[in-house]
Structure 1
Amino acid sequence: MTIAPVQRTATTAWTDARLILALEEVVETELNRHLKAAKEWMPHEFVPWSQGRDFDGVLGGEAWSLDQSKVTPLARISLVVNLLTEDNLPSYHHEIASMFGREGAWGTWVHRWTAEEGRHGIAIRDYLLATRAVDPVELERARMAHMSEGFESDNAHSMLQSVAYVAFQELATRIAHRNTGHHSGDPLCDQLLAKIANDENLHMVFYRNLLRAALELAPDQTMRAIADVVINFRMPGHGMPGFERSAVQIAIGGIYNLRIHHDDVLQPVLRHLKVMEITGLGPVGQQAQDELGAFLDGLNTQATRFDERQAALLARRAAAAAAKA
């Protein structure tokens, strides 16, 4: 992206409909790039079916118990959060299909993205059940509760906010999956989540590049959308049962926390787009850029405080474990 003074455009001129039409060619280019970059993989190849056996109930198999799980307690929590997030795909599809439409390059992308995201939920659930990593009854009850609530993005009220949100959210999801794999204690789980993370990264690149084109087309509106999304960002799983408690454990365990969010999600996307270097903005865009800069400074301070508390907590836990040994 050229960081020269941009040609400002009247904010009122760019309705969602006009933006969607104006970005159609960019979407087609990014769709073609995605299809060339995406590598086919088969979920069933990462599921150890030979470990599977009947559960209790209709088939009269063995009831689930915690000692049957091979994954670490931290990974078990994160896997359930990740899977329930993926399970809400019908709501996500409805949101983006309603916003972007089902025709042309936009529609092709919406359906392709949905198909790839659906693969993630299938693969994780099959792995969890075959390996008895989680309680299948509790998992199903949590799925029903979460999907019954549906999903509506906090601040994706415009086309630009929708694009900005998914640009950050896809990278956040990639990192959550990848770190969960690293903490799982099971090499096969790590391999599976690496495949899913690769898909999520390609999704991020699609939306990030689309956001770059939007910045060039409508810089003030896009800067405002980016600031709104970053300042109010929440992961899509925030409405699931017990999410807050799970999120705390995931944060302390180092899978996803404020430091990771600031350093590995927000900053890479913003740096790639050179958001803070753009000049020539109008009043709306300049105010949004200033707000974004102030927010990032504050978030970095919060992340540093979290790092200190996390280190102290882990040190206490280590001391307590040593004392018991």
Structure 2
Amino acid sequence: MGSAPGLKLEKTAQVEVLASMDAFVRAEMEAHRERRNLWFPNELVPADADLPGSWDESLREVRAAARDLPDVVRVAVALNLLTEEGLPHFHRLIAVYFGEHSAWSDWNNMWTAEEDRHGCALRDYVRDARLFNMGELERQQYAYIEAGFDPEWEQDPYRLLAYTSLQEKATQLSHANTGRMAAGCENLLQRVLAHLAGDESRHYVFYRSMFGEIINRDPDRALVSLQKVVSNFSMPGHRIAGFDDMSEVVRRADIFGARQYQRIVEECLAHWEVDKLTGLSASGAEAQEKLLKVPARLERMADYVASKEKPKTFRFAFAYNREIVI
């Protein structure tokens, strides 16, 4: 373990690397603006005062179709919505780790504005579709926001960027896979989730590019930070009440779990060409070796869990405590 002065020097060096990336960050922000589709929730689930009467009929059809959505889809939508509405935690984390008056803070503000639409659109949908016991869901949301979110990253800004690279891809897959399960039953939900997944995909590209540049500029520290995040990754809503049961339903439904996470890790490691890095320090080489073993370990864990798994019953207050067997 490094001494306090040693850790302080490490953080100073990291801050200097991040400050040196200002022009790179701004160039990637501009590329992101060119890629994005700046949609708004009202375009998906309209609520204008002068809507034509046909929307009332469409809404009745949506509600009727939503009644047939599988309860595993409801659980996934609830978890996705609660996670999206944890946005204040993540804006704060980025602001704390990267400060203000820089390209990083400009990105944080733009990213937050884009992400804010996700919770709005999904909440508009579930309210209009009458998907949940909303009072129960709102209590969960309030408790999650009140509980806070302070990951043990030891003020390491590299870990924040490693985490967001993994998390944005994970959220994209969760939205996309949930949408595919809803398709053919209730198409408006699939459309809303497709818009969210598209945004998450573009955010993933940005953060993956940022961390790749950090590897280029500071490979040893970058790999050490990445290894700590990859080996202890958890989705951002892990402090939601009932998160473990909700996550298990989502995993059993093959929406998101260890197998999907394994593919994300493999994709990121390949993109960053971690296996090809040379000239590393002892700590960097050790982190590299551990990182390259993670996908195989995740596969073994997933295979073991699948071999022991038996049907299990779940109940959730937001889903009216109906019995869900999966």
TM-score calculated relative to the size of structure 1: 0.84
AA of the residue aligned to 2:76: S
Counting only pairs closer than 5 Å after superposition, residues 3-82 of structure 1 correspond to structure 2 as 12=10, 15-47=13-45, 50=55, 69-82=67-80
User: Equivalents in 2 of 1:241, 1:79: separation in Å?
Assistant: 15
Q: Deviations over 1:176-228 (max 9, x none)?
A: 11111111231111111111111011111111011111001000000101111
User: Equivalents in 1 of 2:98, 2:289: separation in Å?
Assistant: 29
User: Equivalents in 2 of 1:278, 1:261: separation in Å?
Assistant: 23
Residue matched to 1:125: 123
Residue matched to 1:59: none
Residue matched to 1:227: 227
Contact residue 175 and residue 194 of structure 2 kept, 8 A: yes
Residue matched to 1:196: 196
Counting only pairs closer than 5 Å after superposition, residues 142-161 of structure 1 correspond to structure 2 as 142-155=140-153, 157-161=155-159
Mark the CA change 1:105 to 1:303 in structure 2 (over 3 Å): closer, same or farther: same
Could you tell me which runs of 5 or more consecutive residues in structure 2 were left unpaired when the two chains were aligned: 1-8, 48-54, 58-62, 313-326
Q: Deviations over 1:220-274 (max 9, x none)?
A: 00010111110010100111010001111110011001111102x1111111111
AA of the residue aligned to 2:166: F
Q: Which moved more, 1:199-208 or 1:177-186?
A: 177-186
Mark the CA change 1:273 to 1:283 in structure 2 (over 3 Å): closer, same or farther: same
Residue matched to 1:167: 165
Residue matched to 2:299: 300
User: Equivalents in 2 of 1:227, 1:66: separation in Å?
Assistant: 47
- What secondary structure, in the 3-state scheme, does the structure 2 residue paired with 1:96 have? helix
Mark the CA change 1:79 to 1:51 in structure 2 (over 3 Å): closer, same or farther: farther
User: Equivalents in 2 of 1:210, 1:156: separation in Å?
Assistant: 20
Q: Quote how far apart the aligned CAs of 1:99 are.
A: 1.1
AA of the residue aligned to 1:248: E
Residue matched to 2:5: none
User: Equivalents in 1 of 2:64, 2:240: separation in Å?
Assistant: 22
AA of the residue aligned to 2:42: H
Structural RMSD (CA): 2.3
Q: Deviations over 1:57-82 (max 9, x none)?
A: xxxxxxxx999734320111011111
User: Equivalents in 1 of 2:145, 2:101: separation in Å?
Assistant: 27
AA of the residue aligned to 1:131: A
Higher relative contact order (CA 8 A, sep 6+): 1
AA of the residue aligned to 2:105: G
User: Equivalents in 2 of 1:278, 1:204: separation in Å?
Assistant: 22
Q: Quote how far apart the aligned CAs of 1:278 are.
A: 1.2
User: Equivalents in 2 of 1:104, 1:36: separation in Å?
Assistant: 21
User: Equivalents in 2 of 1:112, 1:158: separation in Å?
Assistant: 22
Tell me whether 1:291 sits opposite 2:290 in the alignment.
yes
User: Equivalents in 2 of 1:172, 1:136: separation in Å?
Assistant: 25
Contact residue 11 and residue 156 of structure 2 kept, 8 A: no
**Runs of 4 or more off by more than 6 Å in structure 1?**
65-68
Among 96, 103, 114, the residue aligned to 1:105:
103
Residue matched to 2:279: 280
Mark the CA change 1:99 to 1:91 in structure 2 (over 3 Å): closer, same or farther: same
Could you tell me which runs of 5 or more consecutive residues in structure 1 were left unpaired when the two chains were aligned: 1-10, 53-64, 315-325
| Aligned residues between the structures | 290
